[in-house]
Amino acid sequence: MELIDMFCATCDDETEHEVLSRTQSQVIKCTQCGLVSRIPVQKEPVMLQIRAIVSREGESIVCRCEIAEDEEVNVGDYIIAECDDGEGAGVEVMSIESKDKRVEKAVGAKITTLWTRVIDQVVVRFSVHDGWHTLPLYVRCEGDEKFVVGDVYVIKGVKARIGHIRMRNGSVTKRKGKFEVASTIKRVYSYRI
């Protein structure tokens, strides 16, 4: 029996759902109230590790940024760069290199290198599942800000409930009420409500 965590309209909460069948859409049943629903199968975006030159107070180091292949990045965007020491840093995109040219914007698949600078705050990446689509959104916040599984947040006008949080060390926090701090988060997965 395959179980997934999904938001249940009847329970008005994120609950475990049993997957009854999976084709172009999946049929799921809430284990709490028994509501049977049909939802589209979420296609996870292909994530790329893009080279990023990160500058901090006159020193530059080579890091990487995780960007979806179809995600547009613009000069001035705030994203997370991950360096070899395992630490993530909030950075501002200062320049984008695509096929040996400098451009103002490009999608992930066409980016060769991002030229960035460290900013004091961090950027938390959200994947907001909304029916057939996954919206990549960013939240700029202090590094010690807490994000709680099960809580509802409004991100750039989009209301979403956190389903689980993936950490930089690879672990996943799924239990409702558990929290992680922004500086340790790799990505927050949520559902639009």
| Residue 90: Cβ-neighbour burial (10 angstroms; 0-12, 13-18, 19+) | buried
Strands, E assignment, the chain: 3-8, 13-22, 25-30, 36-40, 47-56, 59-68, 72-74, 78-82, 88-98, 101-103, 105-107, 113-118, 122-130, 133-141, 146-148, 152-155, 158-167, 172-173, 179-181, 185-192
Q: Give tens-digit pLDDT for 102-124.
A: 999 999 999 999 999 887 667 78
Q: Report the distance separating Cα 12 and Cα 25, nearest Å.
A: 22
List per-block mean pLDDT (blocks of 10 residues) for the chain, which spans 193 residues: 81 85 84 88 82 87 92 89 78 92 95 88 85 84 89 92 89 94 88 91
Q: Looking up tokens 């705050």, which residue turns up? A: 121
Cβ atoms of residues 67 and 108 within 8 Å: yes
CA angle at 46 for the pair 7 and 30, rounded to the nearest 5°: 15
pLDDT at 34: 92
pLDDT computed for residue 17 by the predictor: 87
Q: Which pLDDT belongs to residue 8? A: 84
pLDDT at 42: 67
Query: CB neighbours (10 Å) of residue 22?
Result: 11
- Residue 191 CA to residue 134 CA, distance in Å, equals 9
Tokens representing residue 108 in the block? 């992930």
> Quick one: which of 69, 68, 113 has its CA closest to 91?
113
